[in-house]
Amino acid sequence: MIDNWIKEIKENPKSKSAGMILIHNGIVRETSKDRKPVKGMKLSYNSEKLNKIINEIKQREGIVEVKVWINEGYLKVGDDIMKVLVAGRLRTDVFPALQELVGRIKNEVVNEEEIF
């Protein structure tokens, strides 16, 4: 998936101004934030909110492309939760955009229920 996203971006003439691609790959860890052992999690998300946020980030100065995939359903330890890619002109454009995007997905888009 990530390799295909990168290939798409590099082959798109609109992406010639991109000088950086950052990727986030969130995974289910074996402990909760308060260090309790976790068996897995149930994850769902709101696709309308996700699309709205993606479009907002894409409109930023210096951002060339944004891609997001979220794994929905029952996830076990080690499974991918989400993959997020932001491509842009400079690191000063891309780093803040990726950080905001991942934070907003976690806070506004996904619903995670840890299974203990």
* Stronger pLDDT, 44 or 15, i.e. the higher one: 44
CATH number at residue 67: 3.90.1170.40
Per-residue model confidence as pLDDT tens digits over 62-107: 999 999 999 999 999 999 999 999 999 999 999 999 999 999 999 9
Spatial contact of 86 and 97, defined as CB atoms under 8 Å apart: yes
Residue 67: the pLDDT is 98
Q: What is the pLDDT of residue 14?
A: 85
- pLDDT at 23 exceeding the cut of 90: yes
Q: How far apart, in whole angstroms, are the C-alpha atoms of residue 34 and residue 36?
A: 6
Domain count, the chain: 1
Integer Cα distance of 108 and 49 in angstroms: 7
- Domain span at 74: 2-115
Residue 96 tokens read as 């803040």
Give the pLDDT mean for 41-56. Answer: 98
Virtual torsion, Cα 103, 106, 107, 112, nearest 10 deg: -160
* 28-43 tens-digit pLDDT: 999 999 999 999 999 9
